[in-house]
């Protein structure tokens, strides 16, 4: 593995709290105002990246608000000066030519700090409400692979002629192309075999959901052994952090959130009805008691400041370059991490 310094990112709060929805210390708020303030503060604290997940409707409770990822990302790109803005994208929602044009526009707005995170969708209800098809799991990845094979060269400024199973593009060229680098960065999410193949073939960074170090090492070994056309694939990890001065304080904070999260069980059960059972992320998360989304605390970042920093260093040694982090209450714990843990990891 290379020795690139670790990068720290935050999940934007596009649909509110990441661990528990009934937390008196963090009332529900997925507004633009909150997300703007959150990302601006994260940049000032030294965070390197933010991931803006994409949902048309709030996935846990459609009655609650949901930040729109791409318009929000464009606004964040204009307001920030250093932090990377990663907007998630589901190929089922956007024509590849239209999306590539949007990506290049935000790349220009940001001055070369934009990235897309391709995810192939797990929430059938979201597509049903919009009157859109929801193919079977592997078919979604086949579509995503073709979609990205159009988006990637368009973002490079190349002329694309394509006729495939899902899309036809007749001589499209997008102007202006990226000014400061070849194109926006491409992150790939998902851990199924089709997701791994897509990451190895077309991604720049593969996002892994939070899980124990040994499992992450095995995933990286599998994907790293696959053939690549370009530079070596880089790796990111999602994780929920609970760091305190003592272990007792850290696990007391964990227990508080776990008890609050249990109150959300009826809401989570309703969501599960609409979740594709073939999504590996959901299968992995079901194996481990954890707090947070996308693996949450399964990565083991619960403990003292020194313990959390040391565990992050071990993940870094295994190949993880970008940590996409969650907290609750988010702003206060983000500040705590930046002050107490970030310097220890970077030392």
If you average pLDDT over residues 5-10, what whole number do you get? 97
In a domain, 60, yes or no: yes
- Domain count along the chain: 1
Q: What is the pLDDT of residue 127?
A: 84
Q: What is the pLDDT of residue 131?
A: 87
Q: What is the pLDDT of residue 124?
A: 83
pLDDT digits 0-9 by tens, 16-63: 999 999 999 999 999 999 999 999 999 999 999 999 999 998 888 888
In a domain, 149, yes or no: yes
Q: pLDDT band at 277, cuts 50/70/90?
A: low
In a domain, 2, yes or no: no
In a domain, 1, yes or no: no
If you average pLDDT over residues 220-236, what whole number do you get? 94
Return the higher-pLDDT residue of 270 and 117.
117
pLDDT digits 0-9 by tens, 234-275: 999 999 999 999 999 999 999 999 999 999 888 777 666 556
Q: What is the pLDDT of residue 346?
A: 94
pTM: 0.93
Domain that holds residue 52: 7-346
- Please state the three-class secondary structure of the chain as a single string: CCCCCCEEEEECCCCCCCCCCCCCCCCCCCCHHHHHHHHHHHHHHCCCEEEECCCCCCCCCCCCCCCCHHHHHHHHHHHCCCCEEEEEECCCCCCHHHHHHHHHHHHHHHCCCEEEEECCCCEHHHHHHCCCCCCCHHHHHHHHHHHHHHHHHHHCCCCEEEECCCCEEEEECCCCCCCCCCCCEEEEECCCHHHHHHHHHHCCEEEECCCCHHHHHHHHHHHHCCCCCCCCCEEEEEEECEEECCHHHHHHHHHHHHHHHHCCHHHHHHHHHCECCCCHHHHHHHHCCCCCCCCHHHHCCEEEHHHHHHHHHHHHHHCEEEEEEECCCHHHHHHHHHHHHHHHHHC
Q: What is the pLDDT of residue 271?
A: 66
pLDDT digits 0-9 by tens, 125-169: 888 888 888 878 999 999 999 999 999 999 999 999 999 999 999
Q: What is the pLDDT of residue 266?
A: 82
Q: What is the CATH number of the domain that holds 72?
A: 3.20.20.30
If you average pLDDT over residues 172-179, what whole number do you get? 97
């Amino acid at each position: 593995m290379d020795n690139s310094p670790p990068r720290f990112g935050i999940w934007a709060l596009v649909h509110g709290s990441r661990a528990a929805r009934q937390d008196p210390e963090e009332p529900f708020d997925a507004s633009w105002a909150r997300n703007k303030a959150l990302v601006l503060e994260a940049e000032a604290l030294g965070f390197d990246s933010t991931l803006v997940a994409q949902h048309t409707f709030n996935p846990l409770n459609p009655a609650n608000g949901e930040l729109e990822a791409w318009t929000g990302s464009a606004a964040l790109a204009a307001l920030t000066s250093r932090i990377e803005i990663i907007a998630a994208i589901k190929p089922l929602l956007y024509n590849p030519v239209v999306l590539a044009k949007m990506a290049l526009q935000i790349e220009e707005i940001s001055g070369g700090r934009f990235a897309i995170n391709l995810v192939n969708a797990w929430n059938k209800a979201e597509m049903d409400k919009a009157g859109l098809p929801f193919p079977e799991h592997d078919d979604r990845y086949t579509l995503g692979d073709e979609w990205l094979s159009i988006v990637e060269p368009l973002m490079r400024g190349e002329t694309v002629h394509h006729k495939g199973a899902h899309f036809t593009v007749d001589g499209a060229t997008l102007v202006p192309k990226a000014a400061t680098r070849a194109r926006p960065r491409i992150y790939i999410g998902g851990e199924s075999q089709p997701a791994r193949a897509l990451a190895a073939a077309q991604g720049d960074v593969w996002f892994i959901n939070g899980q124990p170090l040994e499992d992450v090492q095995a995933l990286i070994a599998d994907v790293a052994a696959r053939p690549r056309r370009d530079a070596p694939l880089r790796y990111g990890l999602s994780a929920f952090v609970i760091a305190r001065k003592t272990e007792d304080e850290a696990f007391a904070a964990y227990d508080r959130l776990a008890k609050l999260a249990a109150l959300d069980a009826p809401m989570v059960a309703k969501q599960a009805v609409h979740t594709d059972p073939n999504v590996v992320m959901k299968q992995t998360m079901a194996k481990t008691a954890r707090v947070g989304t996308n693996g949450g605390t399964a990565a083991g970042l619960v403990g003292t400041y020194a313990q959390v920093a040391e565990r992050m260093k071990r993940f870094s040694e295994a190949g993880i370059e970008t940590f996409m982090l969650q907290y609750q209450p988010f702003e206060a714990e983000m500040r705590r991490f930046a002050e107490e843990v970030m310097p220890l990891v970077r030392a």
